[in-house]
Amino acid sequence: MAKKHTPQLIVALDVDTLEEAQALVGRLKEDVGIYKVGSQLFTACGPAVVRYLLKAGKKVFLDLKFHDIPNTVAQAVSAAVRLEEGGRGIFMCTLHVSGGGEMLRQAVMAATKTAQNIGVMKPLLVGITVLTSEGKRDNILQLVLEKARLAKESGLNGVVASCQEAAAIRDKFGDDFVIVTPGIRPEGSQAEDQKRAATPQEAVASGSDFLVVGRPIIKADNPSDVTKRILSIINQT
């Protein structure tokens, strides 16, 4: 059975410059408290955008999908935890579960130790299962559940998974296991490169904790109006 709760909205800052990110955050004002910083924006302006968001009182979902040898990922996660501003660190970051159990365990240990050393909250570590840009296939649910199990056994807080697998993950791994669902498309929006997209209503019903929305908000003529409509759907579902 899907988890009965109200998930939170994460807006993906998939833009090219810090100035664009600042303008969008300014337009969304107090409606959005969590922003995703992915490889596009982080490559363009680096830690500056993370520190800007933290200084503005926002939570940062650092979506860099770490995947390398265990030591390299551990060091990268440690560096991510050190991205703090005024005693506040990042809220959540991603790792590819396909990197294996040793990589995941070292990342958890690195995040825990670094957070303790510098006096910030340890971020939630969530594992990438199967990207929502991949099409449906017969074994995808089994594959996602196997990766979710490895993530949980390795000490991660949860996973990133599509709406189609979220309910099964919730049933199998419990209410405390975090589920982040990208590829959210309000009714009438184009799926674009998202093969396993879902509406906000579907994601809420599936038991997701966090709904990630990017292009439907970023490309809207009025991002604030679209955001308010999505939040209304989330809160009423």
Catalytic residues: 65
Among the listed residues 194, 166, 201, the one whose alpha carbon sits nearest the alpha carbon of residue 180: 166
Residue 155: which residues within 8 A CB-CB, separation 6 or more? 104, 105, 108, 125
49 contacts 41 by C-beta, under 8 angstroms: yes
Chain-centroid distance of CA 114 in Å reads 21
The residue whose two tokens read 């982080």 is 42
Please state, in angstroms and as integers, the Cα–Cα distance from residue 143 to each residue in 156, 168, 171, 186, 216, following that order: 17, 12, 16, 27, 29
Give the three-state DSSP class for 61. strand
